[in-house]
Copies of this chain bind each other. A is one copy, B any other.
């Protein structure tokens, strides 16, 4: 099935017109390829929502097209197959995940860096819950499209951050901890507020989570993590 993919690719394989060409300011207004850029963005946003709420198999190209305000054939014109579109959505999302870890450096203060990282992750859960849901769905289904990313990029990144934790521990700044389990707990806890939003909302008696809820969630997680590593945490910080 997936080997019958690139059939009409002669038409679609345009120079790719990567966004960051020259001037970012006029990236979606005019100029050559601006239609491509705009429509791809429309489709990707629609696809993220449909994949997040319906799952991979539940997402239909027709539903994505409708949400993007384009005919279905147009979706296939830009992305070829549903699978390729899904891959493109995932690609977008993976970048988000890797970004925030920059805060954790050997030179930074453990308590501040960890707290900032957790708060940034919670902010991401609030601002991009759909991205988180697509990713969660992908993991649950066995990471068929993401296995290489997990085993290479993500694993290496965690390894490098493990060195930071070890350095902090060696300097007596934190207590030793298994980095994989620490990151797992932080990711699980923060992403929970995107993926299980409806459950948390039900428990809090709200239809939607409020800004305050995300803040309190972040503070709870920060408190557990800092204390768990032997650091001080003052609620009013």
Contact = CB atoms under 8 A, between A and B. Distances in A.
Contact of A228 (B196, B199, B227): B227
Contact of A195 (B140, B178, B216): B140
A70 interface: no
A7 interface: no
Interface stretch (A17-25, A32-40, A54-62, A79-87): A54-62
User: In this complex, which of A142, A188, A223 has the most chain B Cβ atoms within 10 angstroms of its Cβ?
Assistant: A188
Given A220-B185, A227-B228, A139 B195 contact: yes
Contact of A56 (B55, B142, B158): B55
A203 B182 CA distance: 12
A181 B185 CA distance: 14
Contacts of A221: 181, 185
Interface residues of A, number: 54
Q: Dominant SS at the A interface?
A: helix
A38 to B, nearest CB: 29
A177 interface: yes
Interface in A41-62: 52-58
Given A177-B220, A203-B155, A203-B183, A198 B57 contact: no
A217 interface: yes
Contact of A204 (B136, B180, B202): B180
22 contacts: A53-B141, A53-B142, A54-B57, A55-B55, A55-B140, A56-B58, A137-B137, A142-B198, A143-B202, A154-B203, A155-B205, A184-B199, A185-B220, A185-B221, A185-B224, A187-B192, A188-B189, A223-B228, A224-B225, A224-B228, A227-B227, A228-B228
